[in-house]
């Protein structure tokens, strides 16, 4: 069985690497539905609909490709106390996000491709602010950078692209041991290949 797996891997690698390499560069933008899942008793969090804009590259062979991206993303939300009436903390923050995705073209036609992808994400916080209302929440607890994962599906029709992805942080995104939160985000983007 082990030999069959190794032979299959070598066959796929040989076919992939012998194919004509593909290189694309493009711009992208879209909607970001972000949520910081706070792990504090008596609090619940709500999503915020924001935006992102940036660029992507894609290099691949036949069905397999590597897609690095960089984009500016606006995020935010609300934390509400379930025990203290009227306690709502609104917050916003922006990041520069750098995902590095490995993808496979499930359908690989000249004018249309259907893709699945996933990989690590590096987020660098560029600004943060909040409107606090009688609670212990403090946006300054948010780390200056954090790691995560993105995974999802996409479709290309000629030079246009459409991606739908989920994003999760790999650990706590807060500096304080008292405030524990994870980043959960849904990203919907459209793009256009320049090259």
Q: Which domains does the chain have, with CATH numbers?
A: 21-193 (2.40.160.20)
- The pTM (predicted TM-score) of the whole model is 0.84
pLDDT tens for residues 116-166? 999 999 999 999 988 766 555 678 888 999 999 999 999 999 999 999 999
Coil, strand or helix at 136: coil
pLDDT tens for residues 42-91? 677 788 899 999 999 999 988 999 999 999 999 988 877 777 666 677 88
Q: What share of the chain is helix, strand, coil (3-state, %, to 5)?
A: 10, 70, 20
pLDDT band with cut points at 50, 70 and 90 for residue 180: confident
Cα separation, 90 vs 45, in Å, equals: 10
* pLDDT (mean) for 102-124: 96
Cα separation, 12 vs 37, in Å, equals: 40
Q: Which residues of 176-187 are buried (b: 16+ CB within 10 A; e: fewer)?
A: eeebebbbbbbb
Q: What is the pLDDT of residue 111?
A: 94
Cα separation, 116 vs 103, in Å, equals: 6
Q: What is the pLDDT of residue 78?
A: 81
């Amino acid at each position: 069985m082990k030999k069959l797996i190794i032979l299959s891997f070598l066959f796929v690698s040989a076919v992939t690497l012998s194919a004509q390499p593909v290189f694309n560069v493009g711009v992208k933008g879209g909607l970001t539905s972000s949520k910081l899942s706070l792990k504090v008793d008596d609090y619940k969090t709500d999503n915020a609909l924001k935006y992102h804009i940036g660029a992507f590259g894609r290099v691949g062979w036949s069905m397999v490709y590597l897609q690095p991206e960089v984009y500016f993303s606006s995020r935010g939300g609300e934390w509400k106390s379930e025990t203290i009436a009227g306690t709502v903390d609104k917050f916003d923050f922006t990041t520069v996000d750098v995902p590095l995705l490995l993808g496979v073209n499930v359908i690989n036609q000249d004018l249309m491709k259907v893709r699945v992808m996933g990989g690590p994400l590096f987020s660098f916080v560029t600004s943060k602010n909040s409107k606090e209302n009688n609670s212990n929440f403090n946006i300054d607890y948010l780390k200056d950078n954090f790691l995560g994962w993105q995974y999802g599906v996409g479709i290309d029709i000629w030079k246009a692209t459409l991606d739908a992805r989920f994003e999760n942080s790999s650990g706590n995104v807060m500096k304080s041991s008292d405030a524990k939160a994870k980043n959960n985000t849904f990203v919907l983007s459209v793009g256009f290949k320049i090259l």
